[in-house]
Amino acid sequence: KNEVEQSPQNLTAQEGEFITINCSYSVGISALHWLQQHPGGGIVSLFMLSSGKKKHGRLIATINIQEKHSSLHITASHPRDSAVYICAVLYNNNDMRFGAGTRLTVKP
């Protein structure tokens, strides 16, 4: 059983739409990462957070420690945002687990 659950698995949106991708985990964590993986495999780290909210450009990541839940939001989505978005959590025992990813397709 994957201890990091992401939803939805696949998401198709029209350009300009507001996107939300969710991540939930099971026990206490030290940090949570949001990663972006483009076709071809390259992975880029978007955010690392342990509380609250972070913003970078059109991307916003939030985390609710009590609810063991994080969301990644994309405002004014663009076709170049099409990628797989992966949530990874660092558990308190220094074990890192990755979600299966959310495949986002933004159509022009």
Partner 1 sequence: EAEVAQSPRYKITEKSQAVAFWCDPISGHATLYWYRQILGQGPELLVQFQDESVVDDSQLPKDRFSAERLKGVDSTLKIQPAELGDSAMYLCASSLAGYSYEQYFGPGTRLTVT
90 lines the binding site for partner 1 (CB under 8 A)? yes
Total number of residues that touch partner 1 (CB under 8 A)? 23
Out of 70, 72, 83, 99, point to the residue binding partner 1 (CB under 8 A): 99
User: Contact with partner 1 (CB under 8 A): which of 31, 49, 58, 82?
Assistant: 31
| Tokens linked to 77 | 């989505």
Of 53-61, 64-72, 74-82, 83-91, the segment contacting partner 1 by CB under 8 A is 83-91
Q: Compute, in degrees rounded to 10, the torsion defined by CA atoms 10, 12, 82, 97.
A: -20
Among 42, 56, 92, 108, which residue interacts with partner 1 (rule: CB under 8 A)? 42
Residue 4 engages partner 1 in binding (rule: CB under 8 A): yes
Q: Which is nearer to partner 1, 66 or 93 (CB)?
A: 93
For residues 44 and 2, what is the distance between their CA atoms, to the nearest angstrom? 22
CA 10 to CA 105: how far, in whole Å? 8
Considering the complex, state which of residue 68 and residue 103 has its C-beta at the smaller distance from partner 1. Answer: 103
Where are any strands of DSSP class E within the chain?
A: 4-7, 10-14, 19-25, 29-37, 43-49, 52-56, 59-64, 69-74, 83-91, 96-98, 102-107
Does 48 sit near partner 1 (CB under 8 A)? yes
